[in-house]
Amino acid sequence: MKVKKKFKDTKIGKFLLKVAPDVLDSVSEVVPDFGALKVVGNLIEKHPTLSAEEKVEATTLIAVEEKSVKKKKLIDKGKIIAAIIAALGVLISVSESCLNEVLTAITSLF
């Protein structure tokens, strides 16, 4: 299983390390998801010492990370769907095999 990147290792985390380390301290070990990104966005929005430009840059980096999280979720869902389809394929082939045996048994009666 692939180790998931922690917040401190993302582009937004590295940016926050420079401009708002106090915000990063609260989420550095969290794996970024939509909830964590929303919290960080709120902290940035209300941060008293960040300039308007820094807030815009941080918001942009959060949007990039949200796209990455969304892409990973879609990939995970795709893997789940592929596993379900494979399992259904096995069930169908087992069912066909059983059906053939049943048909053979029935035809042998006549």
Taking only the tens place, the pLDDT of each residue in 16-41 is: 999 999 888 888 778 778 888 899 99
What is the average per-residue pLDDT within 45-50?
A: 93
101: pLDDT strictly greater than 60: yes
Task: Report the alpha-carbon distance of residue 95 to residue 98 in Å, rounded.
Answer: 5
With contact defined as beta carbons under 8 Å apart, do 50 and 96 qualify? no
- DSSP string covering the chain: -PPPPPGGGSHHHHHHHHH-HHHHHHHTTSPP-HHHHHHHHHHHHH-SS--HHHHHHHHHHHHHHHHHHHHHHHHHHHHHHHHHHHHHHHHHHHHHHHHHHHHHHHHHH-
- The pLDDT assigned to 109 comes to 66
- In the chain, where are the structural domains located? 7-109
- The pLDDT assigned to 64 comes to 92
Confidence class for position 52, pLDDT limits 50, 70, 90: very high
This prediction has a pTM of 0.64
8: pLDDT strictly greater than 60: yes
1: pLDDT strictly greater than 60: no
